Amino acid sequence: MAGYLLKNCAAVIVDEGNGPDVRRNVDVLTDGPAIRAIGEGLDKAELPAGTVARDAGGWFVYPGLVNTHHHFFQCFVRNRADLDWTKLSVIEWLDRIYPVFSRLTEECFYHASVTAMAELIKHGCTTAFDHQYCFPRHAGKRLIDRQFEAAELLGMRFHAGRGGNTLPKSQGSTIPDAMLETTDEFIADCARLIDAYHDAGPFSMRQLVVAPCQPVNCYRETFVESVALARDRGVRMHTHVGEGESPVIEARHGMRTVDYCAEIGFCGPDAFYAHCWELTHDELRKMAASGTGVAHCPEPVYLVGAEITDIPAMSAFGLNVGLGCDGAASNDNSNLMHCIHSAYMLQCLAASTRRHPVPPPADFLGYATTGGAALLGRRDIGRLAPGMAADLFAIDTRRMDYVGTRHDPLSLLAKVGIGAPTDMTMINGRIVWAKGEFPGLDEARLFAQAEAALATVEF
């Protein structure tokens, strides 16, 4: 694979392991899947054969974003005011939305995944984790296989979270019978997918995460077996925690969700939880002590109307924090770059009620890059430096949108926000989005195929 020389970049966010630094008027040289060099005048030295040079004047070049929580299939349940949850609890909303999810077909899951990943790429995301917990019986067991197919089509670096629900509604869950699996079914398919797809090597494009949906909708044994499988195979673990279910878990088990997961062993440096907005400071300290991470999803807060996640406390206690879009049924988009801006602004809104100060804007870019990479256990992504994966995106700042903002590239995404797609997104050394197009793909055709699949859904 040919490399690229991005010449005369106005700014590049470089991090050689000691924190981000802005380099002005430098070149970026990639070679295959990796960054080879960042510096001035790289075109004066001998370049690898086949290197393609591109003028990057005016470009701010950032490390590719890492999305740590999503539900791709929910792209087919967007902009549904009739299913909005502004006046509902999370549990009530799930009761209404899950019957719709249970009617999706295999083709719906595939095209929804293409839809989500395409939007993520347009807005600078280069590694995506998806928590796919919906397995209607009629749709079969190959839904994550189809997600890997979609990721390969678009060139996305993809971590698949094999989710599942095992507790029937008759025992207190929110899951329709058509979406239930047994623990044995769930664990067996996790093992199959790990064997088929998980690649732990450098610059891996495919990895697997064992991700039972949430404690409120699964038997205890499902989580126990998940821990055993994940630790045996050396993969990460993920679930939903602290999004309104803790009182239910306490009523069932005599302890809140964080303690319940800790007792089972579903915690530690190889585990990360989504949301965590209802957790106490003591619970956050316990998570920090165990090394358990948080995938923070800021934008569903707008719909939930619940407490804004205490990111300043998480930061002060030393938790590793990543960012996620969350499912499109509660966010209505797959734009992680917008989530950086939302996350920062929501913390500013709540600042007067916090014990700890709001982290600086640049930290929110860090949550979406190095923070996300750490949650996924990746040391080869999340930073721009020689030897790291060539995952990056570029914004041409020679536009009226950026007048008065260009002095601080590190704060730009959180403080100002980026309203348009990137000018270029590169994953693993391959340009996957540039000049408003997916090279080699027909977006109009992808759109038509997705709309045709969506038309089969009964709401």
Q: What is the CATH number of the domain that holds 70?
A: 3.20.20.140
Digit-coded pLDDT (tens) for 285-343: 999 999 999 999 999 888 776 689 999 999 999 999 999 999 988 899 999 999 999 99
In a domain, 250, yes or no: yes
251 lies in some domain:
yes
pLDDT in tens, 26-51: 999 999 999 999 999 999 989 999 99
Total domains in the fold of the chain: 2
Rounded CA separation 223/257 (Å): 12
Considering the domain architecture, whether residues 38 and 161 belong to the same structural domain is answered as no
Do 63 and 459 touch, CB atoms closer than 8 A? no
Locate 206 and state its tokens: 């495919």
Cβ distance 239 to 266 under 8 Å? Answer: yes
Q: Give the pLDDT confidence score for residue 456 in this predicted structure.
A: 92
- Cα separation, 343 vs 378, in Å, equals 23
Residue 172: pLDDT over 70: yes
Q: Verify that 309 and 272 share a domain, yes or no.
A: yes
Q: Are residues 26 and 78 in the same domain?
A: no
Same domain, 391 and 307: no
What is the predicted pLDDT for the residue at 99? 87
Q: Does the structure show a pLDDT above 80 at 53?
A: yes
What pLDDT is attached to residue 85? 66
Q: CA 201, CA 211: separation in Å to the nearest integer?
A: 21
pLDDT digits (tens, 9 = 90+) for 68-113: 999 999 999 999 887 776 767 777 777 788 888 999 999 999 999 9
Phi, psi of 209 (to 5 degrees): -125, 135
Are 203 and 293 part of one and the same domain? yes
State the residue range of the domain holding 176.
Answer: 65-375
What digits encode the pLDDT tens for the residues 412-422? 999 999 999 99
Q: Are residues 30 and 43 in the same domain?
A: yes
Residues 159, 113: Cα–Cα separation, whole Å? 13
Of 112, 13, 19, nearest to 64 (Cα)?
13
| Structure tokens belonging to residue 456 | 């089969």
Angle (CA) 432-436-442 rounded to 5° is 70
Residue 452 falls inside a structural domain: no
Residue 304 and residue 279 share a domain: yes
Question: For residue 49, is it left (φ>0), alpha (ψ between -120 and 50) or beta?
Answer: beta
Query: Is 320 found in the same domain as 211?
Result: yes
Helix ranges (H only) for 103-142 are 106-122
pLDDT band at 275 (very low <50, low <70, confident <90, very high): very high
Write down which residue in 359, 375, 391 finishes a domain: 375
pLDDT at 78: 92
The whole-number pLDDT of residue 92 equals 78
Q: At what angle do helices 183-197 and 143-154 cross, to 10 degrees?
A: 30
Using left for φ > 0, alpha for ψ between -120 and 50, and beta otherwise, residue 363 falls in: alpha
Out of 352, 375, 398, a domain closes at 375
Q: Which token pair is 175? A: 């899951």
Domain CATH code at residue 429: 2.30.40.10
Q: How far apart are the first and last CA of the chain?
A: 45
Give the separation between CA 254 and CA 120, rounded to whole angstroms: 40
Note whether 328 and 341 are same-domain residues.
Answer: yes
**Rounded Cα distance, 130 and 137, in Å:** 20
Give the residue-averaged pLDDT of 51-80.
97
Report yes or no on 398 lying in a domain.
yes
Domain membership of residue 207 (yes or no) is: yes
| 83 and 176 inside one domain | yes
What pLDDT, in 10s, does the model give residues 7-25? 999 999 999 999 999 999 9
Is residue 453 a part of any domain in this protein? no
Q: Look at residue 413 and tell me if it is in a domain.
A: yes
> Does residue 446 lie within any of the structural domains?
no
Q: Is residue 121 domain-shared with residue 8, that is, in the same domain?
A: no
Same domain membership, residue 82 and residue 197 = yes
- How do residues 216-271 score in pLDDT, each as one tens digit? 999 999 999 999 999 999 999 999 999 989 999 999 999 999 999 999 999 999 99
Q: How far apart are CA 266 and CA 257, in angstroms?
A: 11
* R_g (Cα) of the chain, nearest Å: 21
Q: What pLDDT, on the 0 to 100 scale, is given for residue 305?
A: 64
Closest CA to 374 of 17, 10, 13, 135: 17
